[in-house]
Amino acid sequence: MNIGSSLRRQAILLGRRMKRGLRFRGEEGGALVEFAVTIPLMMTVLTGTASFSLALYYMQQLGAATSNAVQVVAAEQGLTTDPCATAATSVTTSLSSWKSTGITYTMTITDSSGTSTTYGPTTGNSFSCTAGAALLSPNEPVSLTVSYAYTWLPVYKFSPSSALTSTSAFMAQ
């Protein structure tokens, strides 16, 4: 009976050792490898999502500033000598934290005969069209297009630049 129980005990110990050896064989660094593969992908997705969200936020700000600027130009018909400079000042005031050298302006003024005159594109604060003041007519559209060179957040030193563009039109009353 001692021999049988001793053999049984040794068989159980041998079975446990074999299970332990088979269970952990080749899996010592599996979690570390999965972590090393997953983290760069997760960081890329997270950075891309943040950059895309910022681009949408900047696009919203640019649209509001452009709309405001074209309304100011239309409202000041006959009171301004340079509608383009008025629009540029309004945009740069609304977007004071942005670099003005990255902003590009184009303005189209339609006179009373229906002829459209386009001024620009001009980059920076030097947007001027003194001849455009005489073209402003009641019930004729004034269109302003503003573009901004947006630089995406860098993902692995890859940082492309693209233009965010907003166009607004308003009729002078």
Res 3 pLDDT > 70:
no
Q: Percent of the chain beyond pLDDT 90?
A: 23
CA distance 173 to 154: 46
pLDDT of residue 119: 92
Reported as a pLDDT band with limits 50, 70 and 90, residue 114 is confident
Please check the confidence at residue 154 and state whether its pLDDT lies above 80. no
Alpha-helical runs (H) found in the chain: 2-23, 30-75, 83-94
pLDDT of residue 23: 62
* Tokens describing residue 27: 């899996």
Mean pLDDT (the chain) is 82
**52, pLDDT greater than 80:** yes
- Asked whether the predicted pLDDT for residue 61 surpasses 90, the reply is yes
Strands in 141-151's sheet, in edge-to-edge order, are 116-123, 103-110, 141-151, 161-171
State which amino acid sits at residue 49.
Answer: T
CA–CA distance, 67 with 167 (Å, rounded to integer): 8
Highest mean pLDDT among 11-25, 82-96, 111-125: 82-96
Q: Are 131 and 56 in contact (CB under 8 A)?
A: no
Mean per-residue pLDDT, 66-95: 89
